[in-house]
Chains A and B, each alone.
Chain A
């Protein structure tokens, strides 16, 4: 199962980015083998509709779970339509790795 977490940097030590559609980077994390890769968000510089374009990107990447601070209305509808579950973190998480661990322990809230 693939998690995609909006991130302010390109490693697991990077802080998570509370913005979903306009994050520069997603950490794509595979729960089966605990491997990960940082991916540039192609939607970050879109004039409009970044939430939809980012959702399309996650769908194309085969994500099952999107994790961010907050999801805008268009992203919410798009991710829902794609069958991608949305989970949110608050400001207490310092790294993407902490967010991943929190997901595994069922500590994140569903959007």
Chain B
């Protein structure tokens, strides 16, 4: 199985546009699983129109104190990195929204007064798009602060036997992006030739340097902005995988929920070629 994540740093560069058209292009000849990891605002399903057949709760395990056992030693309060516990007025209080579910308090309680109970923070939606290709997306409940547990639980549903996993990443370069692409086999970075695109691309290259995945760049809205992006990329080892032209009809089409490959059919082959190029890069790198 090849796991390909699509990320950008900057929002609105065309991650979902690329991910959905790539999925659709590859779905004819390959078996695909598509994961929308942008759990705070998932929307790839608006393009791929999957049929959702199963909804599971996404949970985080939070401590529950047995007050009959608790000896008020406050070790759980001291150990908690996230200040999710406090000893106030002779009682331990749990602040569930601050809890990352790490389990340290449970492990450190000397009298086993802490057990863990699942708290629902969102949903995992499981279904199919086109013919039996798996479609998965997570959705964080509004007002919940922590997206990463949902992303991890969504990724746990990836099936090893399915040939390709396409992971549509959230924007930014923070925890939820790292959770999405830390174990990706390849990362496609979608950017645009503007100072903003370049600035945020550099942030993402910093993330990639840490996660260690090979990566390539798609330049979207090619034709606008300036040449600084390409000048910069020429100084790195990251290849330009594809350029998508800036055309008003693309924006108009996307705004009505159409796929890029429907609006610009001649680009269809570019996606399959790109996949072959990525695959051969991976085969060279791991020496298969």
Q: Which residues of A contact B (CB under 8 A)?
A: 43, 46-50, 52-53, 55-56, 59, 74, 77-78, 81-83
CA distance A50 to B86 in the complex (A): 11
Mark the stretch among B25-33, B77-85, B122-130 that contacts chain A: B77-85
Taking a contact as CB atoms closer than 8 A, the residue among B88, B91, B98 that contacts A49 in the complex is B98
In the assembled complex, the Cα of A55 lies from the Cα of B93 at a distance in Å of 12
Q: Is the CB of B87 within 8 A of A49?
A: no
User: How far is the CB of B83 from the nearest CB of chain A, in Å?
Assistant: 3
Given known pairs A52-B98, A56-B77, A78-B93, the reply for A46 and B83 (CB within 8 Å) is yes
B→A interface (CB under 8 Å): 77, 81-84, 86-89, 91, 93, 95, 97-98
**Is chain A's binding surface mostly helix, strand, loop or mixed?**
helix
Residues in A whose Cβ lies below 8 Å from that of B83 = 43, 46, 48-50, 52-53, 56
Chosen A-B contacts, 23 in total, with CB atoms closer than 8 Å, are A43-B83, A48-B98, A49-B84, A50-B83, A52-B98, A53-B83, A55-B86, A55-B88, A56-B83, A56-B86, A56-B88, A59-B88, A74-B95, A74-B97, A74-B98, A77-B93, A78-B88, A78-B95, A81-B89, A81-B91, A82-B88, A83-B88, A83-B89
Determine which of A47, A52, A83 lies in contact with B86 in the assembled complex, contact meaning CB atoms within 8 Å: A52
Select one of B77, B82, B89 contacting A47, CB under 8 A.
Answer: B82
A49 pairs with B89, CB closer than 8 A: no
Residues of the B chain whose Cβ atoms lie less than 8 Å from the Cβ of A55: 86, 88
> B86's closest neighbor in chain A, by CB?
A56
Given that A43-B83, A56-B77 are contacting pairs, would A81 and B93 also be in contact in the complex, using a CB cutoff of 8 Å? Answer: yes
In contact, B95 and A82 (Cβ under 8 angstroms) = no
Using Cβ atoms and an 8 Å threshold, which residues of chain A touch B88?
A: 55-56, 59, 78, 81-83
